[in-house]
Chains A and B, each alone.
Chain A
């Protein structure tokens, strides 16, 4: 079990989703820091500490939307997997796209999980519960 508290980086352009996510964290009483980036480029700034952004300290788990402006999720994954310092990052895809193509592409880029945002009343609760359990049970790199 990891001794250090894990940070969450939510890469998401939809404000409503961010709101939902924060509500889910609050409801589930998860105190881990939740950092928000509105697209892949901003996320990379957080990971690398560039462009005046403070670098996110490990360990962290990235929750990644696919459809975003400037740099989408799959492009972001490409950059991350090419980058020697980032390529071991744990990434969960959280997306509205149920497309098989997106799913397979994401797994090709070694994501830990592919989660489709549901319209169910529970919102992100199930997903966030799972991810919270994940970092507590799974040994991170």
Chain B
């Protein structure tokens, strides 16, 4: 698009791209730069906004959520012991509901952070948290189930214990009459024996029988009941102390001791008199033995409870470990989130830096482009060349049509310059043909005049030589010959004058219009038959006198020549219109019919035969040419039907335009 090869310098520049195309390109360039900067600004803004959204909507809530997750987990675990220590099922359900609520809250919190885009460590930590939470949930559910079993077993154990206590009490009540009877019987027999001994009345064998009876029956019963009561007390104590047994070994020892007590009790019950009482006792005893030693006995229940407690304890420890693990994983996640936030902030900083430098670069590009476009297109290719072209055009307008144009190029300015060149050529051509025409008219009229004058002179000389011989007709012929010669001579004079209108070589001077016109009129008014009526108010004009005087001379001549009476009045009025003066020359002659108005200013036009009124028919044509050269116009106003006279209206410059005169006058001087 640039034509650098055409060289430096304004006149040498020959841009071929049109100015319009250049301006369009410049506009497009500037628009594109604007769009580019807007895009950069938008991208920066968008990136910043994304980072802000990342931080504000994801990362910061994530931080809070991770914190809450850890806190809630510990809160949950702090609530777990309450679950373990609950003793009734209703309380357990309440505690469990609370725990499940807490778990679902944890799930909720976790679901909000689960999908956080994190680095590898953060992601694996997140997986750990997920796993830990699942384990925790399972453990808590298991603890709940175990605790439920434990409570059920406790209740059963309590029932069994109450039943055992009841059975022991029943046995105790059944043994008491036996024991009392046996004691009383022993006392009676001892009393009898003692009496017998003291009386000595009974035979020794009887006495020995009596003692034998005593020892074999009553004494045994008494002893057995005593032993049984003792053992029952012992048994009751052991059952009552069952809840205090916390380890399986203590429980096994207690069981061993209990089975000793049971065995002693059963053995003692063998010594009881075999009657209805004994049967009831034995039956009750059997029930008791089934309670403490049979299947699903109270010890077994207690042992199960201890096992469950141990397992629950282990699960609690496990939970604690899970919580710690979760806490540490949460720490890692926190770090990851913080790293993410830091990354986002760093990203924003980068974006800002990028946007700033991009905008600076675009601004620099825009400035450089503007300077380049301005200097290259606007100033060098357009403004400078337009100035140059304007100078050239001004020079042409002022008449300098010989200097060559300095602007070239294929754009609009170049085209205008080419057009100016055409004008210049035309003006040169016009000037040359004008000069030719003028030379022709000048030479022609001079060369025609010389022989014509010679003819006139010869005719005159001939007439003088033939003085006596000339009479009548020949005298008239000589007269006509002389007059025709004079007419042709006048015609040639006018033709010469017409051709030379505008070639003013008079100096410009200040003229008193009234004074001048009176002088011109006096010359035209040879026989003093006409009057001049001036209304020019001491007007002055500046310019060469010749064209001015000739204009009025011709008008006055015309008015006098064409007047139909012997006398008349010619009036001249002048109105100052600023740069121009509007003149009106009016006569009181016969006037000109409107159909002929346009003819009067034509060359060689006379409205009457030349034999009636001598005239070349060029007077008004010369006037019109003079006035047009001076930048004015002339028109005639006359209507013989409406009134006599005709009025010529025309304008005359108050100050003669030197430039317009030079335009035509200069070439004349150069051809002489």
Contacts and interface: CB of A to CB of B under 8 A. Distances in A.
Contact of A67 (B450, B496, B546): B450
A85 interface: no
B485 interface: yes
Nearest to B492: A96
* Main DSSP-derived SS at the B contact region: helix
Interface string A103-141: 011000000000001010101000000000000000000
A1 interface: no
A14 B503 contact: no
Contact of A98 (B454, B460, B493, B505): B493
B461 A96 contact: no
A119 B453 contact: yes
A121 B456 CA distance: 9
Given A16-B454, A121-B460, A123-B457, A100 B505 contact: yes
Q: Which residue of B446, B496, B668 has the most chain A CB atoms within 10 A of its CB atom?
A: B446
A17 interface: yes
Q: Which residue of B456, B503, B546 has the most chain A CB atoms within 10 A of its CB atom?
A: B456
A8 B669 CA distance: 32
A104 B505 contact: yes
Contacts of A14: 450, 454
B545 to A, nearest CB: 12
A119 B489 contact: yes
Given A19-B461, A99-B500, A119 B505 contact: no
Nearest to A105: B672
Interface string B651-672: 0000000000000000011001
A4 interface: no
Contacts of B30: none
B446 A67 contact: yes
B377 interface: no
Contact of B442 (A16, A19, A99, A123): A99
Contacts of A123: 457, 460
B486 interface: yes
A23 interface: yes
A102 B548 CA distance: 21
A98 B505 CA distance: 14
Contact of B446 (A19, A20, A97, A121): A97
Interface residues of A, number: 19
A105 B671 CA distance: 13
Interface in A60-100: 67, 96-100
A96 to B, nearest CB: 5
Interface residues of B, number: 24
B449 interface: yes
A101 interface: yes
A40 B84 CA distance: 156
A99 B445 CA distance: 11
Given A104-B505, A119-B486, A96 B450 contact: yes
A16 B457 CA distance: 7
Nearest to A104: B505
Contacts of A23: 461
A27 B190 CA distance: 239
B500 to A, nearest CB: 7
B355 to A, nearest CB: 82
B395 interface: no
Given A20-B457, A99-B496, 18 more contacts: A16-B454, A16-B457, A16-B458, A19-B457, A19-B461, A20-B461, A67-B446, A96-B449, A96-B450, A96-B453, A99-B442, A100-B500, A100-B546, A101-B672, A117-B453, A119-B485, A121-B460, A123-B457
Closest 6 interchain pairs by CB? A16-B454, A119-B456, A96-B449, A100-B505, A20-B457, A16-B457
Interface of B: 442, 446, 449-450, 453-454, 456-458, 460-461, 485-486, 489, 493, 496, 500, 503, 505-506, 546, 668-669, 672
12 contacts: A14-B454, A17-B454, A17-B457, A20-B457, A23-B461, A67-B446, A96-B450, A96-B453, A99-B442, A101-B503, A121-B460, A123-B457
